[in-house]
Structure 1
Amino acid sequence: MTRPEHRPAAGERLRLHVHVPDELRFFLPTRLRRRAGGQEGVYCPYDGTSSLGHVVQSLGVPLTEVAGLRADGEPVADSHRPADGAHIALVPVHRPQPLPPSAPSPPRFVLDVHLGALARRLRLLGVDTAYRNDAHDPELVEQANAERRVLLTRDRGLLRRRTLWLGAFVRGSRADEQTTDVLERFDPLLAPWTRCPACNGPLAAVAKEEIADQLPPGTRRTYDTFTRCASCGRLYWPGAHHARLTARVDAARRRGSWFR
């Protein structure tokens, strides 16, 4: 597969004409973005044997972000081998994204090592979120497949792994932006304050008398409401950061996601 160019070189036959919608244009190399979605589109040399999915990914667009492909107006699979000069259109993933029948409901996720802040935000909202800061790419794919978790990442190479059952590119560089993106794309069921931000285990109310000897003196005097993680044993109470965390939960509520 030759490298995509904006226009064919002199004397070179134009092979494919690819139209990329606004939602996906940021994946393209800078030199291609301005014309990709317009009348002109992206001109892409084609070797005649590569699949259309390979062509799309060679332009920088992960197939996880594409709901459908059209060749000369007709829906085609990513394994399709287009004819010379075909007009190709990419259809972006619909939001909220419908998941395959084999996906658990509500959806659950596994995040790559660079999304630790997002993992804590999702757990705060009660979303089942697996995360380890030392997990290697093959481990992430294996866990996603075995547990039917959606793999969330900003690594396009990770999303190109053929064995991955389902993944998604996370938009945004800040945790707030990333949280908004995931909630809008998957609309997961939210149950704030029910998961441990540290390990993803379930939280349950615990009597103060039962854990009083584990509390700092100031906390024991000031607070009466506590929860404990059933997995790691961490204790939680509405401390100094509670107002900030509550604001994040309220922001998620305003985005329209639904709650238990």
Structure 2
Amino acid sequence: MRVVTLDVDPDLWFLLAPRRRGGPFTMRAQDTDTWGHVVQSAGVPLTEVGELVVDGAVVAASGRVVDGVLRVAPVARPQATGESPPRFLLDVHLGGLVRRLRLLGLDAAYRPEADDAELVRMAAGEGRVLLTQDRGLLRRRSLPHGALVRGTSTDDELDDVLDRFAPPLAPWTRCTACGGSLAATTAEDAADDVRAGTARTYRDFARCVECRQVYWRGAHAARIVPVVAHAQRVVARRLRRGTARR
């Protein structure tokens, strides 16, 4: 048996059992266990972890454990992904967040009917970051990229994702219903899909190239503009700060 002392960054304490919060704690591990296994056994998904340091040296999550002190740092923000801009996949519990991400022009897929295994396969196959609040889902070995979304409201969830990834935003360019790209269209083309008064009042319309839904900036835009402005500020603030641990 090996004896490992985990010194987990306070930013990750919320993932630990209450008795383990507040400072270093000791765990026992088999000789065949990896550092990553020890960290996840403590309750911290590896998707949330940055550097692992043992006695001053950075170690790989796949490395075999030895007796010592393991310091666990949170993932650095903004986090780089395999895709630029990042592409996301959200689980069934983040339906409100997916519409916000699409409003901001981000590629956000949503398959509420998919089970955990299907979500992992889709994320891996399409190079997407799986966003979820399910820690068990993030521990799946075949998941290449994932992120635990923090927050209890859609506003908080959006702020967390934008702060973590600082993605380039392109507001008003995606369909919030299906995520397809929007293309400009004429009032005449949109007339059959909107009320007559809308077609007479507005001249600038856009249509989703996938589901054909029509969009225009009506009175409802007044409620959306502040959401977009706030999102842009969150991303700009993270980029000004540069890489940092939250």
Instruction: State TM-score, norm by structure 2.
Output: 0.91
Q: Which among 195, 216, 221 is matched to residue 216 of structure 1?
A: 195
Cα displacement (A) at 1:217 = 2.7
Aligned equivalent of 1:28: 16
- In 2: Cα distance, 1:243 partner to 1:136 partner: 37
Post-superposition Cα deviations, 1:79-135, rounded to whole Å, max 9, x if no partner, equal 222223x11101211100122xxx221111111111111100000000011112212
1:52 equivalenced with 2:4 (yes/no) = no
What amino acid does structure 1 have at the position aligned with 2:77?
R
Aligned equivalent of 2:45: 62
Kept in 2: contact 1:66–1:91 (CA 8 A): yes
1:169 equivalenced with 2:148 (yes/no) = yes
- In 2: Cα distance, 1:152 partner to 1:214 partner: 33
- In 2: Cα distance, 1:81 partner to 1:132 partner: 37
Aligned equivalent of 2:244: none
Kept in 1: contact 2:2–2:30 (CA 8 A): no
**Aligned length, in residue pairs:** 237
What amino acid does structure 2 have at the position aligned with 1:231?
E
Kept in 2: contact 1:14–1:43 (CA 8 A): no
Equivalences for 1:1-260 in 2 at 5 Å?
A: 15-35=3-23, 41-84=24-67, 86-99=68-81, 103-257=82-236
- In 1: Cα distance, 2:157 partner to 2:45 partner: 18
Kept in 1: contact 2:29–2:65 (CA 8 A): no
Kept in 1: contact 2:10–2:22 (CA 8 A): no
Give the greater-gyration-radius structure (CA): 1
Cα displacement (A) at 1:223 = 2.5
What amino acid does structure 2 have at the position aligned with 1:227?
A
What amino acid does structure 2 have at the position aligned with 1:91?
A
What amino acid does structure 2 have at the position aligned with 1:132?
R
SS at match of 2:92: coil
Instruction: Give the unaligned 5+ runs of structure 2.
Output: 240-246
Once the two structures are overlaid, the 10-residue window that deviates more, 90-99 or 116-125, is 90-99
Post-superposition Cα deviations, 1:168-218, rounded to whole Å, max 9, x if no partner, equal 111112111111111111111110000000000000111001221322133
Higher helix share: 2
Kept in 2: contact 1:69–1:90 (CA 8 A): yes
Aligned equivalent of 1:4: none
- In 1: Cα distance, 2:232 partner to 2:216 partner: 21
Cα displacement (A) at 1:141 = 0.9
Instruction: State TM-score, norm by structure 1.
Output: 0.86
Instruction: Give the unaligned 5+ runs of structure 1.
Output: 1-12, 36-40
- Provide the identity percentage: 52
Higher strand share: 2
Cα displacement (A) at 1:64 = 0.7
Kept in 1: contact 2:101–2:158 (CA 8 A): yes
- In 1: Cα distance, 2:147 partner to 2:221 partner: 31
- In 1: Cα distance, 2:60 partner to 2:84 partner: 27
Kept in 2: contact 1:171–1:181 (CA 8 A): yes
Post-superposition Cα deviations, 1:7-37, rounded to whole Å, max 9, x if no partner, equal xxxxxx98211101111111101121123xx
SS at match of 2:85: coil
- In 2: Cα distance, 1:256 partner to 1:52 partner: 33
